[in-house]
Amino acid sequence: MSIFAFMVFIVIISKLLHSSSETPKYDAILPRSITALSGSCVEIPCTFKVSDFEDRLKTADITFGCWIKTDQVDLTKPDNIVFNGSQNIIRGFSHIEMLGNVSQRECTTVFYDIMKNHSDIYYFRLQMEPNNVFRATFVNSPINISVSDVPMPPKLTLNDLQEVMENRIVNVSCSAEAPCPKQPPKLSWSNIPKSAIITTQLQEKPDKTQSVFSQITFKPSYMDDRKNISCTVTYPRNTSNDTTVETTMMLRVLFPPKETHVIIKPSASVSVGTNVTLTCKSKASPSKDITYTWYKHGQDSPLACEKKISFIATHTGHYFCVAQNKCGNHSSTAVKLEIKDMFGIGLQEMAHFWIAGCVGGILVLLLVSLVIFIMRGKTSRVVNVIQHRASNQFWSENLDLVPVHSDTDIVINQDSKFSDDEMDKIHYVEIDFSNIQTSYNTRKYLNRSIGPMYAEIQFSKKLQVCR
């Protein structure tokens, strides 16, 4: 090889090396894919890198960005260019706005009123003019925009746990995609505790897209166990109706037994010899490992260790149960099992009944005796036996008359014994006291308004009767 040929070869190689070293390196940073909601907008976060960008920027009069549609990058087809920042050319969209300043390597862009037919692959292109300072389409960084009529449902998370403890602080979060931060979705909660504190904000994800993030903080009680908490997201759209999606999760709360109580069958008052069943009821979580222990007042040792116990009723007693799981225990209120006799009366009630009956009977007897005593004192008096053994005088001047009850037969001296002849001579008389001179005591009784008085008089000797 001649010296001349060798020199030509060196020049060519150096030019090639110089040419390759002048080729700038560039790359765009944007999401690989994004899902947009039809009738809304979509924001594409975008930044880029270009080698020697500041030096190139100094030599350029104008720097602008473009967006090219379809997977065939062909600048000769104007329809593929959907946005040109230098001429504000927009094709196929109602409006496209580049938010980023390309002079600061920012290319974030918003596509408004996006529709189903806008689903496609898009590329960012940077141009620095004049004299072709830099022109490049970032073909290695495409973004796939998928347009849907239904948004993705929100995502619910609970402290990264499936179960929480009662009265311990719990954080439940809800996140929803916000493809259009200029029109962010509205997020709301339902069926949450009244004490819950809610915080809501927009968050940026690692790929620079946005999401709405909301969190509730509260201390759950056992009443919140198995409660369905819902997070609802409403997306504004340029249509007649907004779109609402919802996600629901069941809250699982671990707590010791609550509301422990005893159920008695057939009833709390039964006859002697009845088969009685006591059941212990309680709320607890977890409920699979719950245990039950039965006790009777007056006995230290437990009766049984099961949920139900059955026995033949013989004595009245108070029973209660204790429920327990790994979170704690709880005792029920004691219930009374009353045993009745064969007539359906409780044994204690029967004792009270007999005591009350005896006391009542005594009071009645006392009352009746008092009434009889008073009535007898008012209506009758003891009639003395009138005996007069004088042969010639029947009535004595000092004879005391004793009043007797009207229409009452009085047997005088009924202890006397008479012969048959004496019995034949008994007389019945009617006595008129109106003309008799009486003593003071006699007049006292005769002054009363009484009718005729009859008496059967028995005498120990024959008496002459005044005619």
CA distance 111 to 41: 6
Q: Which amino acid is at 25?
A: K
- Give the containing element (helix H, strand E) for 129: strand 120-129
Rounded to the nearest angstrom, the gap between the alpha carbon of residue 1 and the centroid of all alpha carbons in its chain is 101
Radius of gyration over alpha carbons of the chain, in Å?
Answer: 60
| DSSP bridge partners of 97 | 110
Nearest to residue 83, comparing CAs of 63, 102, 111, 43?
111
Can you give the pLDDT of all 467 residues of the chain as single tens digits? Answer: 555 444 444 444 444 444 334 567 899 999 999 999 999 999 999 999 999 999 999 999 999 999 998 755 555 566 788 999 988 889 989 999 999 899 999 999 999 999 999 999 999 999 999 877 899 999 999 999 999 999 999 999 987 677 899 999 999 999 999 999 988 999 999 999 888 999 999 999 998 999 999 999 999 999 999 999 999 999 998 877 789 999 999 999 999 999 999 999 999 999 999 999 999 999 999 988 899 999 999 998 999 999 999 999 998 999 999 999 999 999 999 999 999 865 555 555 555 555 666 677 788 788 877 777 777 665 444 333 334 333 334 434 444 444 444 444 444 444 445 455 555 544 444 445 445 454 444 444 444 444 444 434 333 333 333 33
Domains and CATH numbers, the chain: 21-148 (2.60.40.10), 155-251 (2.60.40.10), 257-340 (2.60.40.10), 380-467 (no CATH)
Distance, in Å, from the CA atom of 361 to the CA atom of 375, rounded to the nearest integer, reads: 21
User: What is the C-alpha separation between 441 and 452, in angstroms, rounded?
Assistant: 19
Q: CA-to-CA distance for 9 and 198, rounded, in angstroms? A: 74
**What is the model's pTM?**
0.60
Residue whose entry in the numeric block shows the structure tokens 């504190």: 197
Expressed in angstroms, the distance from the first to the final Cα of the chain is 207
Backbone angles phi, psi at 377, to 5 degrees: -65, -30
Phi, psi values for residue 415, rounded to 5°:
-80, -10
For residue 352, the Cα-to-chain-centroid distance in whole angstroms is: 42
Q: What is the DSSP letter of 78?
A: G
C-alpha triplet 409, 410, 415: angle, nearest 5°: 135
Q: Is the peptide bond before 179 cis (omega within 30 degrees of 0)?
A: no
Tell me the backbone φ, ψ of residue 428, rounded to 5 degrees.
-105, 125
